[in-house]
Amino acid sequence: MRIALILSLALFGWACRANDTFRGTEMPETLIADFELQDHDGQPFKLSDQHGKVVLFFFGYTYCPDVCPMTLSTWARVHQALEADTAGVKFVYVTVDPERDTPEKLKAHMSIFSEDFIGLTGSVEALRAVYAAFGVYVEKVTIAASATGYLVNHTSRMFVVDQKGVLRVLLDHAAPVDDVVHDIRLLLRSKK
């Protein structure tokens, strides 16, 4: 009986620890250099102003035909699932197409999914520095037969930055909502 109790407690402890691991790819803790871009209301957005919040980043564009709207749809479900925890989280969408993604266009696009989502743009130079900080790949591809004239190939991962501006987790754009919520809540609890 005593051995069964000890084994049960050991298994319970292991199960609790197993739940405390990220479901996305845990990154070596990398401090993201502060940056300033323009939000969809025309206001400056600095990463350092977000300290104390978990920030979920995605790099995409409003003309994206597939991955970007699917990711924003996932974000909407994550936002809803987080409920009261959303106060500690920012959802930030950085354009990879500043030529077409004006602040007005970003605002209209974000509002389709949630009024709480923030769209960012900036100069080509400022955006390139942010892409480099996150290791984001961006390539404009001309498509003559396309109504839009071009598409943009880009990294399709979500980047989760903790309360101190440290990149902690990468999640696939198609990650299950439960996994995204789990990893965000894990960071909210850790208050690192």
The count of structural domains within the chain is 1
For residues 131-146, average pLDDT: 92
For position 110, what pLDDT does the model report? 97
DSSP state of 123: -
Report the mean per-residue pLDDT for the chain.
90
Q: How confident is the model at residue 191 (pLDDT cuts 50, 70, 90)?
A: low
CB 51 within 8 A of CB 147: no
From the list 22, 52, 36, 49, the residue with the least C-alpha distance to 168 is: 22
More confident residue, 31 or 146: 31
Q: Which long-range contacts (CB under 8 A, 24 or more apart) does 142-148 make?
A: 148/63, 148/100
Render the burial of 127-164: b for 16+ CB within 10 Å, e for the rest. Answer: beebbebbebebeeeeeeeeeeeebbebbbbbbbbbbe
Structural domain of 82:
2-190
Task: Please calculate the CA angle 117-120-121 and round it to the nearest 5 degrees.
Answer: 155
Strand 54-60 versus strand 89-95 pairing type: parallel
Q: What is the residue whose two structure tokens read 């739940």?
A: 19
For position 5, what pLDDT does the model report? 39
From the list 47, 138, 146, the residue with the least C-alpha distance to 97 is: 138
Which CATH number goes with the domain that contains 121? 3.40.30.10
pLDDT over threshold 90, residue 146: no
- The tens digit of pLDDT for each residue in 73-129 reads 999 999 999 999 989 999 999 999 999 999 999 999 999 999 999 999 999 999 999
